A and B are shown apart, each in its own frame.
Chain A
Amino acid sequence: MSSPTLVASSHRLPEPLATLQEVGCILVRAENGIPGFAETDPDGETLAIALSHAGSRLRPVLDALATQPAENLKGRLEELAENEPSMFAELRDVLVCSYLSTPPMWRLLGYGGRVPRPPADGEAEEYLAGGVLEPVLARGPIYQLLEQDGDGFAATGQRRPPHGEEKSDAT
């Protein structure tokens, strides 16, 4: 597990955001020009959103972490990953999601975000241009029709074999 990066915020966040941010810094540190956890969310704005959605799920793990001295957070986290992997995974996923939901990370990743992208006129047709559906249409129907015989229903429609293949999977 990586060493913690110094928290970049100018003031300590209120609990439990401060603890979560410290954990985030342990999980995602700055490297190779990629910002660390606290650099992307110094004021804990995104973290607060995360907490508002996932607070009830994080409560057990926060309680568990709170029993340890702050300076031992990294050790406790390693212990958690070893002994209670599902609880650790829950915490990790929320914090990684928080990190990846920040504007600096979206910019870095080239992710345009959740914005409307209505199709242009003719866009649907454009994607089907160049005869891309022709092989599908050339094969014809592939469903099975059934007809009732004396004992029940039986398949009558022979699925057409693809591309000259002789075998039919009609039953």
Chain B
Amino acid sequence: MTIKRGTYEASEWTSEPDDRADVLIIGSGASGATVARHLSRAGMHVVCLEQGRWINTHEFTGNRREYELSMFGPWSKNPNVRGLNEDYPCEVSDADIVPVMYNAVGGGTVHYGAMWPRFRPSDFRLRSMHGVADDWPIDWHDLWPHYNQNDQDFGCAGMPGDPAFPPMATPPMPAHPINDYGRTFASGMNKMGWHWWPAPNAIATRAINGLVPCVRYGVCESGCPNGSKASVDITHWPRALRDGATLVTHARVSQIMTDHKGLATGAIFLDADGTEHRVRSNVVVVAANGIGTPRLLLMSANSMFPDGLANSSGLVGRRLMLNPTPMQIGVYDEPLSSWQGPAGQNVHSFEFYETDPDRGHVLGASWGTMPSGGPFAAAQIAAQAGKPAHGEGLVDAVREVLGHSLILWMVTGDLPHESNYVDLDPVLTDSSGLPAPRVHYRQDANSDALIRWHLDRGREALIASGATSVIDFPAMPDQPGHLLGTARMGDDPSTSVVDRYGRSHDISNLFVIDGSVFVTSGAVSVTSTIAANALRIAHHMVSTAAEQVVPA
């Protein structure tokens, strides 16, 4: 075996024709890292291909004056804005929501807010309960122990006893302070008689898993310069590498290979110079997010699988769900230091999470409060309210909002529609000449109604908490990057892409483990559920390794 252990650039890759890893993982984000860590600990040789690079915590701009300016360029959440070589562009002219993502070791966890709620029992049973979408082949009992384990592995700071959820293990760290603005909002929720609770975040309140305690820069979603947020480049990869994993950076996969028996045999990848390499493996695991995963499965079409891998159902790329996310800004007379983090959530609410037929729509939303940012964020908020975006009155408008406001954001449930899908763009390519994904997404009438209803309730809560004005953003400028549903799991191969363990119905040694497998979207931040499901699948892979069919 000449495949080196450890982490290195794709240009340094060497292997002999007979070399074969136990498991190849494509993508190093939340799900890929979770599975890599678990399988490596079980003694398997895992090779992970990541098209991005390692990001050093000190590169993040959140503790520097340039922070807000850096969002216009390479630190944007939008790959089309970043335009880095390791990104792939997304064709979005037919999309109501522009997806956000990040390509680096750690994937989306580098740029997520680390809000750490769980799905609720009802999320797995929408068809049975409300006659919409589909039931999952698993339920909340299947994920609960893995949520508990991931609270430890990532590092969850939370307060036990939230009556919005079935009992769960006590998080390893106490919750963050809810800050002045969280307390202000909570007072309004109490006046309304509505649920709220100090929100769980995968952000450290004490040293854990390589993380250091949060100092409330309030910039979590653009990378934590303090190393406090549980991105898996910090929490998972060092452990997986210690256990013998191989993590290859700047390795862009162009195709998953299959043999004449229809088994996956590994992948072809390109290094940063465009030189082609091959890695062979017994099992291939795709963890490239709800857009990157279908893109890769479709790009891997061959004579045996002309419509793409794992696509006999025709559902690869279909049923894309993005959790449309509105937000509201409550503006207050009193100073609230509302640039102070984490961001993250301070307070969350599940008062209106479940479907209520009397509302005229199905599904619901979770709510959470966040800091409202720095001076330029304040200017943008004020502009949304019709205040001057430049010129006379600009500074007065900023003063009204800066430090005197909070964000109430609402993650709404999203129904899966086959008409919302990802395919390959016939023209646009990435920097390697590979087809870009083309995103087709129309926000449906249910979402429109749901959002209107929740904005009305949110306004009531904010006014009750003392807000002097409320500014609506029916669509949050930076959507949360929930990329779900495009390789759904299920028991029926004709109506699903993978089985309940993420195994392709068509190719028995090909797994999908990211948010692509979600049957429904839930109405919460999704990373904890993506990771819990990945951990569940990893346990299954270990326990069934002896029976796993592998290529000759």
Taking Cβ atoms with an 8 Å cutoff, the residues of A that contact B are 1-2, 27-29, 31, 34, 46, 49-50, 52-57, 89, 92-98, 100-101, 103, 105-106, 108-119, 123-124, 126-128, 132-133, 135-137, 139-146, 151-155, 159, 162-163, 169-171
| 0 or 1 for each of B98-124: is its CB under 8 Å from A? (1 = yes) | 000000000000000000000011100
Stretch at the interface among B8-16, B186-194, B533-541: B186-194
B120 touches A127 (CB 8 A): no
B356 touches A54 (CB 8 A): no
B216 touches A117 (CB 8 A): yes
Whether B198 sits at the interface, judged by CB under 8 Å, is yes
Give the contacting residue for A127; candidates B177, B219, B354; CB below 8 A: B177
A110 touches B403 (CB 8 A): yes
29 A-B residue pairs with Cβ-Cβ distance under 8 Å, sorted by A, are: A2-B391, A49-B65, A55-B73, A57-B72, A89-B389, A96-B376, A96-B379, A97-B68, A100-B375, A100-B376, A101-B67, A101-B69, A101-B375, A110-B403, A111-B339, A113-B65, A114-B218, A116-B63, A118-B214, A118-B215, A124-B178, A127-B182, A128-B198, A146-B121, A151-B128, A152-B125, A159-B354, A169-B358, A171-B355
A127 touches B183 (CB 8 A): yes
| Contact A116/B395 with A56-B73, A111-B375, A136-B197 known, Cβ cut-off 8 Å | no
Task: State the CA gap A29–B388 with chains docked (Å).
Answer: 13
A153 touches B129 (CB 8 A): yes
Determine the chain A residues whose CB is within 8 A of the CB of B161 once the complex forms.
137
| 0 or 1 for each of B125-168: is its CB under 8 Å from A? (1 = yes) | 10111100001000100000000000000000000010111100
Determine the chain A residues whose CB is within 8 A of the CB of B356 once the complex forms.
169, 171
Whether B260 sits at the interface, judged by CB under 8 Å, is no
Whether B43 sits at the interface, judged by CB under 8 Å, is no
A162 touches B194 (CB 8 A): yes
Nearest to B178 among chain A residues (CB) is A127
Whether B174 sits at the interface, judged by CB under 8 Å, is yes
- Which residues of B334-381 have CB atoms within 8 Å of chain A's CB atoms? 339-340, 350-351, 354-358, 374-376, 379-380
| Contact A53/B70 with A111-B339, A144-B120 known, Cβ cut-off 8 Å | yes
Give the contacting residue for A53; candidates B73, B390, B398; CB below 8 A: B73
| Contact A135/B190 with A53-B70, A100-B68, A169-B358 known, Cβ cut-off 8 Å | yes
B63 touches A53 (CB 8 A): no
Give the contacting residue for B129; candidates A97, A142, A171; CB below 8 A: A171
Report how many residues on chain B are interfacial, defined by Cβ distance under 8 Å: 82
Nearest to B375 among chain A residues (CB) is A100
Task: State the CA gap A114–B225 with chains docked (Å).
Answer: 10
A143 touches B166 (CB 8 A): yes
Determine the chain B residues whose CB is within 8 A of the CB of A95 once the complex forms.
390
A124 touches B72 (CB 8 A): no
A31 CB, nearest partner CB in chain B, Å: 6
Whether B452 sits at the interface, judged by CB under 8 Å, is no
| Contact A53/B72 with A137-B163, A159-B354 known, Cβ cut-off 8 Å | yes
B217 touches A145 (CB 8 A): no
Report which residue of A31, A103, A136, A155 has the largest number of chain B beta carbons within 10 angstroms of its beta carbon.
A136
| 0 or 1 for each of B40-78: is its CB under 8 Å from A? (1 = yes) | 000000000000000000000011111111111111000
Task: State the CA gap A155–B82 with chains docked (Å).
Answer: 45
Whether B213 sits at the interface, judged by CB under 8 Å, is yes
Task: State the CA gap A45–B180 with chains docked (Å).
Answer: 34
Give the contacting residue for A144; candidates B217, B354, B403; CB below 8 A: B354
A116 touches B69 (CB 8 A): no
B44 CB, nearest partner CB in chain A, Å: 35
Whether B394 sits at the interface, judged by CB under 8 Å, is yes
Nearest to B341 among chain A residues (CB) is A117
Give the contacting residue for B125; candidates A103, A111, A113, A153; CB below 8 A: A153
Report which residue of B177, B198, B215 has the largest number of chain A beta carbons within 10 angstroms of its beta carbon.
B177
| Contact A139/B216 with A94-B72, A101-B65, A109-B375 known, Cβ cut-off 8 Å | no
Starting from the known contacts A57-B72, A100-B374, A103-B65, 10 additional A-B residue pairs (CB-CB under 8 Å) come to A53-B73, A100-B68, A100-B376, A101-B67, A118-B216, A128-B198, A132-B190, A154-B128, A169-B358, A171-B129
A118 touches B213 (CB 8 A): yes
A140 touches B128 (CB 8 A): no
Report which residue of A29, A55, A97 has the largest number of chain B beta carbons within 10 angstroms of its beta carbon.
A97
Task: State the CA gap A133–B389 with chains docked (Å).
Answer: 39
Determine the chain A residues whose CB is within 8 A of the CB of B129 once the complex forms.
146, 153-155, 171
B40 CB, nearest partner CB in chain A, Å: 34
Nearest to B197 among chain A residues (CB) is A136
Nearest to B166 among chain A residues (CB) is A143
Whether B466 sits at the interface, judged by CB under 8 Å, is no
B130 touches A152 (CB 8 A): no
| 0 or 1 for each of B390-425: is its CB under 8 Å from A? (1 = yes) | 111011001100110000000000000000000000
5 interchain residue pairs of minimum CB distance: A116-B215, A53-B73, A54-B72, A100-B375, A152-B128
Nearest to B217 among chain A residues (CB) is A114
Determine the chain A residues whose CB is within 8 A of the CB of B474 once the complex forms.
none
A134 CB, nearest partner CB in chain B, Å: 9
B309 CB, nearest partner CB in chain A, Å: 32
| Contact A145/B128 with A116-B217, A119-B177 known, Cβ cut-off 8 Å | no
Determine the chain A residues whose CB is within 8 A of the CB of B125 once the complex forms.
146, 152-153
A169 touches B354 (CB 8 A): yes
Nearest to B219 among chain A residues (CB) is A114
